[in-house]
Amino acid sequence: MGHDLDSALLRSFVATARVGAISRAAAALNRTQPAVSQHLKRLEEQLGTKLFLRTSAGVSLTPNGERAVLIAARILDLIDGLGASTDSGPGRTKMRIGLPEEFVGEKTLQALTDLALIHSSAVLEFITCPCAEFASSEGGRRFDFWVSDPRLHPDLTPLHEKAVELDWMTVRTEAFVGATIPILLWKQPCAWRNAVVQALEEASVAWRCGYEASQVAALQTAAREGLGVMIAPKGLRIPGLVSYRSPLLPAAPSVCMALYGRSDMAHVSDGIWRVVTRNL
């Protein structure tokens, strides 16, 4: 028999999963720590499975918890977007939303589907392109909202910002043969490329450029063919690729991404940012 899950339980679950500690989740939700702990206990009882492993350092998701948090976050986004979905306003609003190709993955496409559902009274256009294209003089004028690297927009004030963890991704789990590790790189200009090269050089890693491209599809194909290791947001699921762990590689760097957009439509920016970055 199904359960009518209280959204408060889901909020405590998702918040705890994101910050890795019940105390920090309680502070973020403006609740007491015992209240959040009780929410997690009730949710685990209703679902019939353990969602977290508890240690002295905090909590981490179990495999079932990792699967459940994706669904829970999506449910909350749709609940929070219910008001926007019923607010048709005068006529149909058209919004053009620009996303960097670096963000594109299976989970991103699902999030965009949810965003279109939430804003069903509007006509949404999603456009992806390399992050550097948003830095052009015409970049901002093409979109109502766009996600980009703040370093490309020093004169603009972002509506939202977030540190995005990156991960090494490849098709294989075994070590690469040879004295150097082949790295698949974005063509310049690219802030992500610069962060990767800096991390490799600071760790004194023996590496070489295994492939270079300006399109995400080309890099992903090269990774699937075993040409080397690429970088991607940790939360993305890219078909055919897995996280690559090697003692020869440093921890993947983090990058800052931000949402920019029209001030007269800032009232919808919170929902757009929450859904777009849900899995990052």
DSSP state of 235: T
Query: Which pLDDT tens digit goes with each residue over 212-223?
Result: 998 888 898 999
Q: Which residues contact 43 (CB under 8 A, 6 or more apart)?
A: 5, 9, 10, 12, 13, 51
Query: Which pLDDT tens digit goes with each residue over 120-152?
Result: 666 778 788 777 777 765 555 688 888 888 888
Q: Is 124 left (phi over 0), alpha (psi -120 to 50) or beta?
A: beta
Six token digits for residue 143: 């979109």
| The pLDDT of residue 211 | 93
- Residue 256 CA from chain centroid, whole number: 11
CA–CA separation, 172 and 72 (whole Å): 31
| The pLDDT of residue 199 | 92
Which residues of the chain have a pLDDT value below 70? 1-3, 80-92, 104-110, 116, 118-122, 136-141, 173, 175, 177-178, 266-267, 279-280
